Amino acid sequence: MVIRILPNADALADAAADEIAQRLSPASGGRDVGLAGGSTPQAAYRRLAERPLPWSEVHAWMTDERHVPIDHPESNAGMAGRALFDHVPATLHTVPWHEAAMEAAAAFERHLASILPLGPAGIEPWLVVLGVGEDGHTASLFPGSPALDAVDRDFVAADVPGRGWRLTATTGLLSRARHTVFIVAGAHKAEILTTVLSDECDLPAARVAREARDPLWLVDGEAARLL
Ligand code: 6PG
């Protein structure tokens, strides 16, 4: 595990764009990326749009989605489109809309199987980019969510108390990613970051990080102040 502490949110966004671009460069051999939703990564995605990558060969997907149409303000794919995919010729694979969230998740799971590389243990994303919530969730794997138990699935839906239906990559799928980058910023994340990085933590973000093959943590000084 590597932790890079950047002096501020701007430097963090630049570093995140650089690290993602490096893993999608022609020399890297990888062309797929699962992206986090939320607000932290937006600055990095905007900077990534300016990086000279083979964008027409890049296939992107959201590691989680709210159960809303893509034109809804809460849509993660909508956010990523405005920040990045409206500006580069990459393909953003979006969760198909179904009234039933579980049907949408199952349909997207089948779609991921058709676009992501297949390894010995199942589909193997090249790169996933994740955030961490103040409760220790990552993607839409929330503490106590039944999605955490779906170890034989790649992408599922769960009704999250207080947040509605969420669709998410599972710990199984995330653990098979070749590269994992976490992006965490802000003083409000200092406590949870310290908790998640502690050895005995079993919160979802800690589980995903522990099972990751080479987790890279990109954090700003405010989030790192208790480390
Ligand atoms: C989402 C995200 C979620 C996010 C964390 C952190 O759908 O909200 O995918 O997992 O990464 O909630 O969000 P912030 O970066 O906005 O704090």
Mean pLDDT for 19-46 is: 97
For ligand 1, mutation pick of 42, 62, 74, 138 (most atoms within 8 Å of CB): 138
End-to-end CA distance of the chain: 15
Q: In Å, what is the CA distance from 28 to each residue of 2, 24, 117, 140?
A: 19, 6, 15, 28
**Domains delineated in the chain:** 2-220 (3.40.50.1360)
Residue 181: pLDDT band (50, 70, 90) is: very high
Report angle CA 47, 183, 166 to the nearest 5 degrees. Answer: 105
The DSSP element (H or E) to which 82 belongs, if any, is none
Instruction: Check residue 176 and give its pLDDT.
Output: 98
**Ligand 1 center from residue 37 Cα (angstroms):** 5
For ligand 1, mutation pick of 42, 132, 191 (most atoms within 8 Å of CB): 132
The number of angstroms, rounded, from the C-alpha of 23 to the middle of its chain's C-alpha atoms is: 15
Ligand 1 pocket by Cβ (under 6 Å): 36-40, 64, 76, 131-133, 137-140
How many H helices and E strands in the chain?
A: 7, 12
For ligand 1, mutation pick of 12, 33, 35, 39 (most atoms within 8 Å of CB): 39
Instruction: Check residue 151 and give its pLDDT.
Output: 87
Cut 0.85: pTM above it: yes
The number of angstroms, rounded, from the C-alpha of 101 to the middle of its chain's C-alpha atoms is: 19
8 Å CB contact between 172 and 128: no
Give the integer Cα–Cα distance in Å for 96 and 76.
13
pLDDT tens digits, 113-134:
999 999 999 999 999 999 999 9
In the chain, DSSP assigns E strands to 2-6, 32-35, 59-62, 64-66, 91-93, 118-119, 122-123, 127-130, 155-160, 164-169, 179-184, 215-220
Q: Does pLDDT of 210 surpass 90?
A: yes
8 Å CB contact between 197 and 212: no
- Which residues, other chains included, contact 167 with Cβ-Cβ below 8 Å and sequence gap of 6+? 64, 65, 66, 67, 95, 101, 104, 105, 108, 140, 155, 156, 157
Residue 113, both tokens: 């199987």
**Ligand 1 center from residue 50 Cα (angstroms):** 23
pLDDT tens digits, 124-173:
999 999 999 999 999 999 999 999 999 899 999 999 999 999 999 999 99
- Which residues, other chains included, contact 87 with Cβ-Cβ below 8 Å and sequence gap of 6+? 49
Q: Does pLDDT of 18 surpass 90?
A: yes
Encoded amino acid at 8, one letter: N
DSSP code for 148: G
